[in-house]
Amino acid sequence: EVQLVQSGAEVKKPGESLKISCKGSGYSFTSYWIGWVRQMPGKGLEWMGIIYPGDSDTRYSPSFQGQVTISADKSISTAYLQWSSLKASDTAMYYCARLPLGYNWFDPWGQGTLVTVSS
């Protein structure tokens, strides 16, 4: 069974750094793109960026370029999303999701990681 399991909820203060993870299993992790999607409280889905773990090729949405860093460690089948200095406006649920080879939809999705940034 293809699964993406994300790290647990985080509570951080403004200005702190954070790295959340997404571990893939049940498939060849290096052969599929992984995307990250933000969902702010009560709002819709926003595409943040994607990474190809095989060679770490990464693409960002213009809205998130320079705001976050996407990376992957193929040795442990894990993708990451990180912030160097969190803001209150980063409070959201973050999902990772796999893109089937050669296609542009997301399936399956991880269970989500809730990030709360508050002083």
Phi, psi of 85 (to 5 degrees): -150, 100
Q: Which stretch binds another protein (CB under 8 A): 17-25, 68-76, 77-85, 101-109?
A: 101-109
Measured CA angle at 55 (ends 111, 50), to 5 deg: 40
Q: Is 13 in the site for another protein (CB under 8 A)?
A: no
Q: Does 35 bind another protein (CB under 8 A)?
A: yes
Stretch that binds another protein, among 9-17, 69-77, 78-86, 95-103 (CB under 8 A): 95-103
> What are the b/e assignments for 73-112, b being 16+ CB within 10 Å?
ebeebbbbbebeebeeebbbbbbbbbbeeeeeebebebee
Closer to another protein by CB, 5 or 119: give it: 5
Q: Does residue 75 touch another protein according to CB under 8 A?
A: no
Considering CB under 8 A, how many residues would be counted as binding another protein? 22
Among 8, 41, 62, 102, binds another protein (CB under 8 A): 62
52 binds another protein (CB under 8 A): no
Check: CB of residue 106 under 8 Å from CB of residue 99.
yes
